[in-house]
Structures are given as C-alpha cells and as structure tokens.
Structure 1
Amino acid sequence: MDLQQDQWWNDFQNDENAVILDVRTEDEVSEGTIPGAIHHDFYQGQDFLNALENLDKSKNYYVYCRSGNRSGQTCLLMNQLGFENTFNLIGGMNEWQGPTV
C-alpha cells in the first residue's frame, strides 16, 4: 500500500508490530537513514531476495528508498512472498521531512 509521508510515519509510530525497511544502496544509506531502519539493498539480486525471505512475515513493513520506486517494487515482491502488510513511502527520502540519523 502506498502511503503519504505523514500517514506512513504516524502509522509506523502507532504500530507495535512495525519494522522499517530501507532498500537503498550503501552510498544512499550513508547520507542518512530513518531511525531504527533495517537495510537490505534492492540491487543485491538473489541476496536481496534471500534477505526478504528471512524476514518475519508476521510483522508490518514500512518500506522506503530514495524516491519510492524501489520500495514500491519491494512491497509488491514481499506481497508475492507472503507478507500481508507492506507500506511504501511515497516520495522516499527525496521528500522525507521526518527524523534521520
């Protein structure tokens, strides 16, 4: 599900079963991340797929990238892998106004 920034962040903060997933490259991550995010690089091919498969499917995943494209694709992929609750951050880090570390 694609969510605007305010709803994405508010839903995450009120979700006791939430995980933030950053699917950007290492270089992008070095520019700053959303606090508490776990990182798996979308461009790592089979390693990326393996990493997704190892995630807890009972959690709710709030996914972001630089612009919202890779994270949107990741949400679709995760849904195909059996994840029921994935939430894509529209606009990604390009438009992020929330906290970063």
Structure 2
Amino acid sequence: MSFLTNIFGRKKDYSDSIKVLNKSAFSSAISNKKVQLIDVRTPNEFTNGHIGNAVNVDFFKSDTFVSYFEKLDISKPVYLYCRSGARSRKAAHKLVDMGFKEIYDLQGGYSKW
C-alpha cells in the first residue's frame, strides 16, 4: 500500500481510488464512451495536441481546477492525464481528497500516447 500525506496533513491510502493504466488499457476505457476525460496540462500544452474529447483543466490554476471538479459527478470515473504522469498523479490525489472514488491515470502521460 502506498500512503501519502494528504492536504490535511493526514496519512491517506490513495491506491484504492487511483488506478494507473497503460496506453492500451486507457485507450480501451475511454473509447466509444462518454467519460470524464481531463487533461491537466497547461492550455499551451493542450493546444499543441491532446486526446480527443478531453477537457483542459490546468492543474497549476488551483482555483479553476477545484471549481471545475466541484461541478463533476463524483460517483462517475474520472480519466486523467498530463505530459508525463507527475501532475496527473498530484491531481488524482486532490480528487480523492475532494471525494472522488474512481480515478484512472494514464501511465507516462500524453508523451506515451
């Protein structure tokens, strides 16, 4: 189990809620389905290429990030990616802290897509 300190300073096990998927599994999971697919890179990175139907929510814009996710259905899965996987992992931890239970993160990020 992987325990990390959450934003409230408490140890939290994120492994039950966050699953890292390789490109093939991630692609299969999002294809032909209406899913909550979020690109947490900057708008400039997003403009230079992104996965179809993804919504850009910049991880570094904290207020916008939180307000966007507060509008999503926390009972539905969220699929995240960034450039290499580091930001999306941090974003996934924030989402668990916000109450999301099912988060899928693209292993290696868009650079592996």
Q: TM-score range by the shorter chain?
A: 0.7 to 0.9
Residue matched to 2:60: 43
Query: Relative to total residues, which structure has the larger helix share, 1 or 2?
Result: 1
Q: Does 1:89 align with 2:100?
A: no
Q: CA deviation at 1:17?
A: 5.8
Q: Give per-residue Cα distances to partners, 1:9-46, cap 9 Å, x unaligned.
A: 112226x5622111110110111110001111001012
8 Å contact from structure 1 (residues 57, 82) kept in 2: yes
Distance 1:17 1:94 in 2: 23
For residues 31-66 of structure 1, give each alpha carbon's deviation from its aligned partner in whole angstroms, at most 9, with x where no partner exists. 111000111100101221121222111221110011
**RMSD of equivalent CA atoms:** 1.4
Aligned length: 95
Q: Which residue of 2 aligns with 1:53?
A: 70
Percent of pairs with identical residues: 34
SS in 2 for 1:58: coil
* Matched residue SS, 1:43: coil
Normalising by the residue count of structure 1, what TM-score does the alignment of the two structures yield? 0.85
- What TM-score does the superposition give when structure 2 sets the normalisation length? 0.77
Larger Rg: 2
Q: Give the AA of the match of 2:46.
A: V
Structure 1 residues 68-77 or 48-57, which shifts more? 48-57
- State the partner residue of 1:99: none
- 1:94 maps to amino acid: S
Runs of 4+ in 1 over 2 A off after TM superposition: none
Any unmatched runs of 5+ in structure 1?
97-101
Say whether 1:2 aligns with 2:1. no
Amino acid at match of 1:23: V
